[in-house]
Amino acid sequence: MPAAGVTAQASMPDTPQQSAAVAAVGLDDPAKKEIAMKIVSSAENSSLDWRAQFKYIEDIDDGRGYTGGIIGFCSGTHDMLELVREYTKRKPGNVLAKYLPALERVDGSDSHEGLDPNYTKDWKTAAKDKVFQDAQEFERDRVYFNPAVNRAKQDGLRTLGQFAYYDAIVMHGDGGDATSFSSIRKRALAKAKPPAQGGDETAYLNAFLDARVWAMKQEEAHSDTSRVDTAQRVFLKNKNFDLNTPLSWKVYGDSFSIK
């Protein structure tokens, strides 16, 4: 799991105020999680309707092969392979199971070999299946959401900080490279202490978002940083640490709001 191997030490908050803040409703609260899914979907799919994205699949020419599903599982970055494995474990003989050998071969590349011409059509067929939908949510939580939220809570961050971690891990993954989530966090820790280490939450989140923007600019496909600049920065500037509604933000020039 992505959070494994994160070795930076973090003690839990030692002031009553910080402890109460972290003990309050977090991003794993169902209502807050729904907000998180909508904000990520606004950036990934230009829509708040994240459940409409189970069927989404296309090659967006970012070097990762096919991108599909609710958080952009990619055929070139292993998580799409893991998803189809999970689906097949739950439902052997499903419409995507026959593509497992091809997904194993193209893992780590942008190749469609063995997937074309019918993979995208079969993906959309699978997306009507509740078992596949559940597998997408399970893998999202296992690989991205739970590790990000748990790490943020250990760092003493409230809901906004938990979301900042989640959005970063969705885009960058948590491999060993310089732009991975763990590397972004390490860059932030070099600039500011998180609340769990006695630091100021605003200062730390600004340091984290600075590091995130740097990571995004290392890759042309991610060089538009509006999902940070005109979304998360806005929430932080408004000191909306609990991601309370109403929320208004912009991504790629499009305006979104949750009442």
Per residue in 48-58, pLDDT (tens digit) is 999 999 999 99
Higher pLDDT, 139 or 18: 139
- Residue 117: other Cβ atoms inside 10 A: 7
For residue 251, name the pLDDT band (cuts at 50, 70, 90). very high
Q: Is 112 helix (H, G, I), strand (E, B) or coil?
A: coil
Distances (CA, A) of 217 to 24, 152, 179: 34, 23, 10
For residue 24, name the pLDDT band (cuts at 50, 70, 90). low
Q: Which tens digit of pLDDT belongs to each residue from 96-114?
A: 999 999 999 999 999 999 9
Q: Both tokens of residue 22?
A: 């972290």
In which residue are the tokens 């280490």 written?
A: 197
Distances (CA, A) of 154 to 48, 76, 85, 192: 29, 31, 31, 15
For β-strands 66-68 and 247-251, DSSP reports them as unpaired
pLDDT of residue 8: 35
162 pLDDT more than 60: yes
User: Can 79 be counted among the known catalytic residues?
Assistant: no
For residue 13, name the pLDDT band (cuts at 50, 70, 90). very low
Whole-angstrom distance, CA of residue 58 vs CA of residue 50: 16
Domain boundaries, the chain: 16-258
Inter-residue long-range contacts of 256-259, CB under 8 Å, 24+ positions, other chains counted: 256/38, 256/39, 256/42, 256/48, 258/35, 258/38, 258/48
| Pair 243, 32: CB distance under 8 Å | yes
The single residue of 28, 29, 62, 82 carrying the catalytic annotation is: 62
Whole-angstrom distance, CA of residue 21 vs CA of residue 227: 25
Distances (CA, A) of 73 to 29, 70, 81, 247: 24, 8, 9, 27
User: Can 62 be counted among the known catalytic residues?
Assistant: yes
The single residue of 44, 59, 86, 167 carrying the catalytic annotation is: 44
172 pLDDT more than 90: yes
pLDDT of residue 25: 86
Whole-angstrom distance, CA of residue 200 vs CA of residue 1: 29
Please state the length of the chain.
259
Taking the mean position of all CA atoms in its chain, how far away is CA 80? 14
CATH topology assigned to domain 16-258:
Chitosanase, subunit A; domain 1 (1.20.141)
Q: Which tens digit of pLDDT belongs to each residue from 36-84?
A: 999 999 998 999 999 999 999 999 999 999 999 999 999 999 999 999 9
| Pair 144, 71: CB distance under 8 Å | yes
